[in-house]
Amino acid sequence: MASLKELRARIGSIKSTRKITSAMKMVAAAKLRRAQASAEAARPYAAAMRRMLGELAAATRGEDGAPRLLAGTGQDKVHLLVPLTSDRGLCGGFNSNVHRLTVQTIRRLQAEGKTVRLLPVGRRALNFFMREHADLIVDHVTGVSGKEVPFSVASGLGDKINTLLEAGEIDVCTLVFNKFSNAMLQVPVCQQLVPMVVDDAAKDAEPANDVAQGDVAQYEFEPDEATLLAMLLPRNLQVQIYASLLETAAGENGARMTAMDNATRNAGRSIDSLTQVYNRTRQTNITNELIEIISGAQAV
């Protein structure tokens, strides 16, 4: 049995830890409000961007010389996976879920005879895949989480992916990230960026109010469809990456707030339990001392 001094030291240590976890919970909650608002504000824009490009792609379907961002390279041999995680930990299973889904995707693709490349975003993803699949990493990005995500990060990441695609080093690019649902739930998903999935784009946006159900809207594009696609496809790639980064930032703060809340509650329960043990041990020592005093007095 631990001594009273050891119990006091342990209780003091847990109380200090509880103060830290409680403070981290409040900081994460404050950051979550802003991050959640940014992620929710970006969703309609990203969905509208996919819908618009889906309509453009439908107008140019079957034509030769389609942009690679839309049609890909015509092959399905080399897959680039881009896992998005945080730079810091203490957020429960937030990063582990992305790692797990990415590893499952790697194994599935390799079992199909495909070549896999990795471009981890976030220090946690980089550290994990440097241990597990260092030979697959072609580049990395860190220093994104823990602050407001600037669009320049998504722009630079989109340029890297586009450069690899134009050089013929990859055929397919897929994002792996946590889609923010609420503070307690972040769902790991895979989103294919290259080639663009037109069918999924049409599902994300509601049809226009002035178009009856079952009718097909007719559009005239100015300038022509090919010129618009060449201008908008790189922008769409950056927008989809930016929306995913915002989802990751909101999910990280939500997961950290939940994890720190659980840690604070667990610390409180541990303090209560140790306090009971401390009181019982103290009372036992007092009782033993009284018994020794009374026994000594009776012996005299």
Domain ranges of the chain: 27-204+218-257
Sequence-ordered alpha helix ranges (H) in the chain? 4-59, 68-71, 94-111, 123-132, 151-166, 198-203, 225-299
pTM of the model: 0.83
User: Which tens digit of pLDDT belongs to each residue from 22-35?
Assistant: 999 999 999 999 99
DSSP category for residue 87: S
pLDDT in tens, 159-196: 999 999 988 899 999 999 999 988 889 999 999 998 88
Q: State percent of the chain over pLDDT 90.
A: 57
* Amino acid letter, 67: P
Catalytic residues: 91
Residue 202 pLDDT: 45
Q: pLDDT digit string (tens) for 124-138?
A: 999 999 998 999 999
Q: What is the DSSP letter of 229?
A: H
CA angle (139, 142, 147) in 5-degree steps: 150
Q: Which fold has domain 27-204+218-257?
A: Pyruvate Kinase; Chain: A, domain 1 (3.40.1380)
